[in-house]
A and B are shown apart, each in its own frame.
Chain A
Amino acid sequence: MFNLSKVASIAATAILVSSQTLFAGNAPENDDPIKVTIQDWTGQHFSTHVAAGLLKEMGYNVEIVVSDAITQHPAIASGNIHLSTEVWTNNVGDLYDGLVDKGDIVVVGELGLSPKEGWIYPPYMEERCPGLPEYKALYDCAQTFGSAETFPKGRLVTYPASWGTRSRDMIASIEMPFEPIPGGSEGAMVAELKSALSAEEPVIMMFWQPHWIFAAYDFNWVEWNPTDGKCVEESQEKDTACGFEQAKVQKVVSKGFQDKWPAAYEMFKAMQLTNADENAAILEVDEKGRKVEEVAAEWIAENKKIWEHWMH
């Protein structure tokens, strides 16, 4: 529930608070607004407001533009949007890879989040399915997770069809007696989790972190065999299954960004946020109902030591 003019005013106060800082380079190189995109999950709101706040500190003109996780890509490629703090590589579609290959989208590096993806379940399921969190337990208690549509198999809610078919492929390769049901959308998946929790019903779902739901409710992760870093999802064996290849969160800018705003580029390249940073912010916003702009401004005010290094 943000609103652009209020964002601007809060960010402006943030600048007033600490306008004494000295900056490297001769930023701002020009007054054209840097368009930073904001999307639809709180973690991303936070990282975007931190980046925008810091760019304003450096004297840049920053504009915050609303977009969607997928539709931002053509917009960045055409220069309508200049900067995006979080592109999750597991959820980008062919479009993104093509645009990066062409050079229309420039990957600056990773943000520093270590995302986790896998299957989650509420803790009360451990009583009903002894052996969890070990994935092998699921072979024996598939029916505990069963439903009318999937009987005699268990029911596993997976990512929406438009996010790919990773769980389906893996279930097929390790012959697990589960039926993958595509979740449709984030909202539907969260609704399903909430409803299952309120009635303590069985549920198991493919999910990702950082996500605010972990701040609000307890979930456990299904554990797989440890790997030496690489896990080929679609060809695993029942006994040695390694689960899922973990995603990267990339920072990207539009073509020509580096030439136009070199100092901004260097700062953004150095910028790093951790899961702890985001989870704390997510909790403040989604649980305590505070405004994300406020929380981001607070982070900027408290972590000057950290971001000063990014600007040199």
Chain B
Amino acid sequence: MKSQILEKKTLSWIGIIFITVIFLIFKENWGWSTKYPKEFIVPFADWINFSMEKFIDNFGWFFLKISWLLSWPIIAAQLLLHSIPWVVVMFLVTFTAYLSSGLRLALFTFSAIFYMVLIGYWEESMNTLALVLISVPMAIFIGFGLGVWGFFSKRAEKIIMPILDIFQTVPTFAYLLPILLLFGFGTVVGLIASVLYSFPPMVRNTILGLKRVPDHIIESAIMSGANSKQLFWQAMLPSCKKQILLGINQSTMAALSMVIIAAIIGGTADIGWEVLYYIRKAEVGQSLVVGLVIALMAIIIDRITSGFALQSDKDTKGPGFSKNSKKNYLSFAILGSTILFLLARFFVVLDDWPYDLSVWVASHINDLFETFVKAFRTEIKQLKNYTLFFIMLPTKIGLEQAVSPFTWGFPLEMIHKIFYFTSFSALSIWFLKNKKNDIFVFIILLMIFLYFGLTRMPWPPLLLIYSFFAWQIGGYKLALGTFLGLGFIVSVGMWPEAMISVYLCGIAVVFCFIVGTSIGVWAAHNSIVSAIIRPINDTLQTIPLFVILIPFVMLFKIGDFTALLAIIIYAIVPSIRYAEHGIRNLPSEVIDASKMMGSTKMQLLFLVKIPLALPVIMLGLNQTIMYGIAMLVIAALIGTNGLEQIVFIGLTDGNMGKGFIAGISMAIIAMIVDRITKTISERRSEALGLEIK
């Protein structure tokens, strides 16, 4: 029975490959299959622009009123933060850090804040903080409300979840312009953009937390006569406090990562704006120095909130909160602030750090970097050329065009072609004979892709291949979704750009997955490696992405290769983290058992550990892809040609519809890949009888 199903599947694949070959043969004759005809492009973009215009004409006043209302809390927060001397802010935050996680974090916080003062960016930092202070509570409030609603109403959850997906996958650049058109100009736009971007994690964590409340807690609360209000506020909520604090933590991080993107539209003299200013001047040193402020802020807030989240878990760690000590801490904070405030009245340095005392390390970084560029010029060029010739060009335009005397050292002749096709075919048939039908199909498809190149393949067979693949992984629903989603991209005429995005992101993801997972596995076995990797990962994830771009351009010049590296450096982090996490948290009894059975270290790793950790590793792959797509948008700033560039053109041209459609197209690709990888991960863990955390 089973072999018959296998046959059927393989037969369908052979049919699809056959169709693909037909399309490739008639590529020249069927122009529409490589270039979607202009007459058939559905003008969604124009429709969106038109309806938006009408909408603004009729309801614009309403949004402007909201905008006016929202501008007050920001102004108030800015005034407050500016009027407090920096020593006082430093004292309060450091003290909070101490309460959250003890002396080490307090020390770190102290030095980080002093760094902001020392480099002369205190006021800009406070403007950024003001935005975060207003937007995060809003995001948390909205997110908590939606989360509770989604928990109690299945129908609501069904509506909320896809909306969250959209907000988290549509590139933020794509919805900046609509917000700008609706809410007018100013800091409020940044506020709304960051609320929209940062509320989804709160919703997710709230729902998850409520779902995980153990039954016995609910039962005992009901038995002791709690009404529904008491049940919720006094029994359920406290027991999912940890998850909710995690949501707050994630929302805050999301808001901070939005700060720099919001700076693009301007309106606030904040740190994001300063970073952009130096990036435009290609000042590597300054942009790093200033960008680090955002990274430090993110790390401090992250550690403080997650410190409190841990404390709620086990009250033994950290200074803790008994009622009495709470009172003491509060009076200590008030007393300390008052003293420092008064001191700052007498010593102006404590309030307004003089410009002349600011420390400039930036020029040293610049010099160092320039020396490096000069010294390794040849090596850099070789690395770049080899990657281009042997990996990137074949994937993009296919071996048919990539092989030339200049790149590979010889022209592509008939003999090479025959050798290429026969060896691949022989290999695939060998696998077919050994009943490895999936590998057989994979090799045949790879042969075709590599020869013609992703961007030169006609779209109808590609659509078919992707949809059929989705059907195999997740059944007809996923297949239908894939088909409709990709069909939409074809119908708006953005298929070629979409394939360029897929090509860049695809290579980056494959690299990240292989290398990142290896590093992660290594780190799981070696605590020194783990200790070295962690701060690097933290910085890479929190520093504004733009900051990474400029040094890469200096090293590798404008072009696809640089974009690729920028994507890799950002997207590799989740691969590393998940692999390490997956291996470290394997049930010890399984490992002990296999050790007792006498397996070698290598056997243990490849036959036991990695297969068992695979579901978690696959989640890492999923996140790597999401991060890759997010970074792709930023890579548009170094001159790529994919969907991300259209998003950007839409923003700078003021063509909202165009940018938005391109953004939706990117979201579609992200969601399809997300569903596919998640389904694979779920299936694996089901097969292993594990539960993924």
Contacts and interface: CB of A to CB of B under 8 A. Distances in A.
Interface string A57-87: 0000000011110111111001011000000
A5 interface: yes
Contact of A161 (B550, B559, B639): B639
A187 B406 contact: no
A2 B269 contact: yes
A78 B280 CA distance: 28
B554 A195 contact: yes
A299 interface: no
Contacts of A242: none
A302 interface: no
B388 interface: yes
B374 A198 contact: yes
A286 B277 CA distance: 12
Nearest to B268: A66
A93 interface: yes
A194 B184 contact: no
A300 to B, nearest CB: 21
B279 interface: yes
A116 B168 CA distance: 42
Given A185-B638, A186-B280, A199-B374, A191 B267 contact: no
A184 B638 contact: yes
A59 to B, nearest CB: 25
B370 interface: yes
A96 B652 CA distance: 11
Contact of B279 (A41, A65, A187): A187
Interface residues of B, number: 62
A190 interface: yes
B654 interface: yes
Contact of A212 (B281, B645, B649, B653): B281
Of listed B269, B374, B384, B558, residue having the most chain A CB within 10 A: B558
A182 interface: yes
Interface residue tally of chain A, by bracket? Answer: 35 or more
A162 interface: yes
A190 B281 contact: yes
A91 B277 CA distance: 18
Interface in A136-150: 147-149
B199 interface: no
A152 interface: yes
Of listed B124, B280, B555, residue having the most chain A CB within 10 A: B280
Contacts of A186: 280
Given A74-B181, A161-B641, A187-B281, A192 B654 contact: no
Interface in A15-61: 39-41
B124 A3 contact: yes
A191 B554 contact: yes
B149 interface: no
A262 interface: no
Given A66-B268, A71-B180, A183-B639, A162 B653 contact: yes
Given A152-B406, A161-B639, A192-B558, A74 B185 contact: yes
A256 to B, nearest CB: 16
Interface in B636-656: 636-641, 645, 648-649, 651-655
Contacts of B555: 195
Contacts of B181: 74
B389 A148 contact: yes
Nearest to A197: B370
B269 A4 contact: yes
B282 A190 contact: yes
Nearest to B189: A71
Given A71-B265, A80-B185, A161-B649, A95 B654 contact: yes
Nearest to A39: B266
B550 A188 contact: yes
B637 A191 contact: no
Nearest to A193: B282
Contact of A40 (B180, B276, B641, B649): B276
B264 interface: yes
Contacts of B638: 184-185, 188
Contact of B266 (A3, A68, A95): A68
A206 interface: no
B280 A190 contact: yes
Nearest to A161: B645
B184 A78 contact: yes
Nearest to A291: B355
A124 interface: no
A66 B269 contact: yes
Interface string A150-169: 01100001001111000000
Contacts of A66: 266-269, 273
Interface in B544-598: 546, 549-551, 553-555, 557-561
A187 B637 contact: yes
B124 A188 contact: no
B282 A187 contact: yes
B639 A195 contact: no
A188 B374 contact: no
Interface string A186-230: 111111111100110100000000001000000000000000000
Contact of A195 (B180, B264, B373): B373
A39 B652 CA distance: 14
A162 B406 CA distance: 32
A107 interface: no
Contacts of B534: none
Interface in A263-287: 286
B406 A195 contact: no
Contacts of A39: 266
A8 to B, nearest CB: 12
B385 interface: yes
Of listed A185, A199, A286, residue having the most chain B CB within 10 A: A185
A138 B642 CA distance: 29
A174 interface: no
A181 B558 contact: yes
Of listed B120, B180, B274, residue having the most chain A CB within 10 A: B180
Interface of A: 1-5, 39-41, 65-68, 70-75, 78, 80-81, 93-96, 147-149, 151-152, 157, 160-163, 181-195, 198-199, 201, 212, 286
18 contacts: A2-B269, A65-B185, A66-B273, A70-B653, A70-B654, A74-B181, A75-B184, A75-B185, A78-B64, A148-B384, A148-B385, A160-B648, A181-B558, A187-B553, A188-B553, A195-B373, A195-B554, A199-B374
Given A66-B273, A162-B653, A194-B370, 7 more contacts: A149-B560, A149-B561, A187-B637, A188-B638, A191-B554, A193-B282, A195-B555
The 3 closest A-B pairs by CB, nearest first: A95-B654, A184-B639, A75-B185
